[in-house]
Each structure stands twice: as structure tokens, then as C-alpha cells.
Structure 1
Amino acid sequence: MHTDLVAALDIGGTKIAGALVDDQGRILRRAQRPTPAQEDGETVMGAVAAVLAELTASPMWPDVRAVGIGSAGPVDRSAGTVSPVNVPGWRGFPLVERVRSLAGGLPVELIGDGVAITAAEHWQGAAQGHDNALCMVVSTGVGGGLVLGGQVHPGPTGNAGHIGHISVDLDGDLCPCGARGCVERIASGPNIARRALSDGWRPEADGDTSAAAVARAARAGDKAAVASFERAAQALAAGIAATATLVEIDIAVIGGGVAKAGDVLFTPLRRALRDYATLSFVQRLTVAPASTGTDAGLVGAAAAALRSGSGAAAAHRLSA
């Protein structure tokens, strides 16, 4: 019997992933559906329900003690609702209540997706051993979370560290969140591609206009592709430096699909960071790629469930 088995959901603008996870962070069963992000809220919930149905059908389900959800944000942890910027059909959607009903009344813990990757990286990844860290996911959107004083710090609503909606360009483009010049509006995958296309980059014969395709072009020396990644790196550096100045983090960990660009992103990012992190107490700030991979959201959601659910012993181990 798995005494501290939990279910985890990772909900983003591209996919809805689910898993059964043990107290060592091992994924024992998986399920996944594409996110119907442009559909109405009930259609999106239907995809969540389909993922949960696969998990509850597992013979391991009777051992599950809690459910953790890491969702694109903003989220409202206290109200149990979500309003993801990139899922317009969900505004104040009562996700916790709906998941609890489908999960047979189990405890449900909701955190933002950035907080989830932070929990995963602090537990098992590049932020291990760091008492003060910013962990980010740079993908369809840009999210983040904080470790302060050795503990993941979700904040009252579960959105603390949501760096994607810090404005770094006061006269910049309007962001879907309603502000202007947000980090996400410049550094997310779709916006890297949008900028490159507007500056003259053209995709190859396969028509791939993803950030990964822009990264390939940048490695080959395409000037518009290089410039778009440098612009994204500058926006990330400005947001990271502002966060470090405010709360004195000593490492920024970056994961998500855009981080897979490797040196195309990290070289200009580290260079730009030197221009923004100038005060003496942030000059030792380092940047590292995330190491928990594509499972970070699931592992982090599981960590939240282990902390808040019935596994008191697991919670002790995670905070040790």
C-alpha cells in the first residue's frame, strides 16, 4: 500500500496532465488531454474530468489521500477558483469544488503553475539547497514562484512570484491581463515567434512558427530570430533582477519549453542580467535551467498535496 499516494493535475494553455504520485515524487500512472483553451469553460472542464476519470479508474486510486492542482493563473487559492489568462472560458471558475466532487470528496490543494514548478525544483531540482530562489516556467505563458527562508511561498491566493505579469516596458504592447509591457508579452514562446515574424523571420518549408523553430533559426544565425530571443532575454533579466532586488533571491531557475532553446536564451539572459542586477546584494545572483523537466508541474502539484493532505510524515520530509 502507498500510504502517501496523491493525485496531481498540471493545467496549462496547451495540455492538461494528471498523475498518481508517491511521497518520493515518483509518477506511477499518467493521463493527459489537450487543453481546449479557446472553448467554453465547461468544455475545458470536460478535459479535466477525462484526465481524472483515467486516474480514478486505477486500482491504486483507493490509496490516494489528496489532490494537488497546479494551474495557469491567476488562481485564487482561498476561493478555490482559477482565471487563467490563456484560457478565457475560465474566469473565477470553481475548479477546486469541481475536482473535489469528481475525486470523491478528497482534500484538494490549488496552487499556480509557477508555484508548482518552484515546489518541484526546490524538492528535487536545481533549487535544492537554496533558501531563497525564484523558479520560472517560460512556455505558452510565463509564470513563477518563490522560495523564501527555505520554504515555498505561494502567498495568500497562490500567485506569489507570478513574474510573467511584471511590466518591464511601460509603453509596451497591451497584454491579455490588461497591463502593458509584461514579461509574458515579450518572453513567452508565442510572443518570441510573433516578434521574429514581424521583424522578417520566415519559417522553413514545414511552416513551423513555434519558438522552437525560432531558436533553430537563431542558432543558424538568422538576425530576426536572434533579436527576438535577445529581446525576450532582456525582459526576463529585468523581471528577475527586480525580484532579486525586492526579496534577495540568490538563484533564478528557468524551465518550460522556451528554456529548451539553451544557449540561445541563456547566453543573452546572463549578459543582460549583469546590466540589471547591479546592486551589491544581487550581483551574485545566478541563473540555471530547471532540471525536473516536463514533469515539474505534476511533481510540484503532488508536493502541495502531500503538504496539505493526510500525509503528515511526507510533509515533514518535504520541509526538512
Structure 2
Amino acid sequence: MPPFEAKRSYRDRGTANIPLRQQAEAGMKAKPSYLLEYLHNTVTENNIYEVAKCNCRCWFCPDCCITEGYKLRARLIPILKTFKGLIMETLTVDPELFSNPKDAYLYVMENRCVSVTTQDLYRWGYLATRRYFYVIEWQKDTQMPHFHVLYDSKYISWNAILYSWGKHRPKDAGEVKENRPRFGTVLHSAPNFKDPAYAGRYATKYLIKTPKEGFPEWVLDMGKERRIRRYSASRGFWGETSSKSNNDNKDKRKNQQKSYRERINGCGQTVNFFQLLVTTDIKTGEVEQNRKWLGQLDIQSKNLIPKINDNGNPKRNRRIFCAENFNAALTQLSTISQKKLGIIRKYKTFHWREVDEQKATNY
């Protein structure tokens, strides 16, 4: 069973099976709630709203990498179940071959070193298919990248993969020094996995954590002109089919290029505001729970979300509550935050009108 519920953050697992209205009213009723403490009222039959931290979704963010990592794990494991065997090899790069870790990383990417080595192993009969999945880590002392690669195989000769990996040695590197590898070392980091699920968890554990010492400065400064992927896979690994891009269907909003450092610094600086809609299919009677995004509130998540009671998991970055209407909901949030909240981005088809100053916001 995947480690998160569909359409919910992994942080919502404590209340994922509880109906939305029950969650909302539980957070607003009997137990001491900061919101009720401010408003001195009770909840009747009202609409359901939700506020959630506006995440940067950056793989280098200590918060967002956990959420994104669990999502990726749920996609990865079903694909690994189609492998005939599973082996993880760790491919490193000799730091003496490059003047700095950034040059080493760019060299490996531009020369498609992992892909070329995979093709060699397939031609030599060590792989069942050309499919692979890898995760990048950076060594603590040298900051050099190394690659944890999952292969569709039951056995790979260490001499064979070392020979193939050594073929990527730069032409201007000169002769190989004594006791140094041609290009880098190869380690059988996990030669056998008991099942695909374990292999998927093992591989993605590198993604749902951040180094204690943090990521290298040169990594965090990238992202504007050149991206770094913490993971990658062979072509067609996810079952996608290539197609020509349709410029008419592209998002017309300009993509603001930011470094990873800038994206992380902006994580949680605003709060997403939703209305939760419960609809029933007339034919099947199936009840669906959906979110309608209303806009972004100009307040840091740490200054609002922790103040709203949550009987499920207080550490999660979203809260559900009831209110008579949109205006009343925003008034409640303004009261608890002790700040007049405004909308900095809004749902394009939503109509707004100015309201009284005491009602705390725009509608």
C-alpha cells in the first residue's frame, strides 16, 4: 500500500480516512482551539475550508523533498516489480580528475556516462533490459557526486562495470596514477534485494533526507540556467511516450527562473487557501472529496497554520476548518493571525469585492 493517500500530502495520513466535515468540526469544537479561543463561537452547518503551506516543491528543500520523495516512491515500486532482477551499483568520480565538483558533475551529464555504461552492460549480457534508475549524492569531504544506480539484473561482474566506467576518463587527464582508478570507483552497494518494494524504499531513502552538513554551495546556487536532478532514469522508464509539444496548450505564465537557494528561501512564505467540496455521483452514489483553490494568502505558514488546532497530526502543514462563507473564513484567519490578510494570487474565475475593514480582507 502506498505511503500516502491519493490527492493528500503524506502528512495527512493521521486523518486521511476521516470525512472532511468531521475533521473540520473536530478541529473547531470541543478541544481547546486557538481559533475558538479568539472567536468564542461554535460551528454549525457551514462550508469547509483549508489552508496549507505553499511549498517550493524543490528536491533540495528539507521539507518538500520528503513529500516529493514519497510520491516518487509510489511511482517507482510498481515499475521495479517488472524487473527480472534488482542490483544497485554505486559509481563514483575521482576528485583528482577535475578542478572542482561542479565540473565533474557537468562532465558526467554532458557525456551521458551512466547511460553509456548501461549500454555496455546490456551488450555484454549482464542486464535483462536497458532500464535503470539512479539517485545522486554528494560526498561530505570532497563534494563530488556519486550515483546509486538500480539495474534490471541478477548479476553484474565488478571487473566489467569498472572497465566500462573507466572508459569515461577525460582525454586530457594523462596517464593513470598508481592506486588511482581510471575514472572512479565502483561499489556493489546492494547486490541483492529481497523484493522490489524494499529496493524502491532503499533507493528513495537518499531522496527523502538532506545531508546533515547541507548540500554543497555550488549545488544550491544552480537552478537558473542549469538544473540538477537528484534522480533520473532511462528513457521510457516511466512508460511515457514522446510527442511533439503543442505551443497552444503551454502554460502562458512565465516561468520565473530561480536558484535552488532562492526557491528554498521562499518556501512557506505564503499560504494556499482552498474550499473543500464534497460531491456525490447521482448514478453511482460515490462520494468524492475535491479541493478548489481560491488563492494565496500573504502570510507565512509558520505564523498561521500552527495556531489552528489539529486533532490528527499537529505537525502537518495544512488545517481544515468550517466557516459560513468565504468572507467569514478569511475573517477568522485574520483574527487568529492578528493581521489583515490579503490575496496576492487568486482563482481566475473568482469574483472579488471590497468589504468592510473589520471583515479583514478582500472578497
* TM-score > 0.5 by shorter chain: no
Q: Which has the larger radius of gyration?
A: 2
TM-score (norm 1): 0.27
Q: Of the two structures, which has the highest relative contact order with CA contacts closer than 8 Å and spacing of 6 or more?
A: 2
TM-score (norm 2): 0.24
Which is helix-richer, 1 or 2?
1
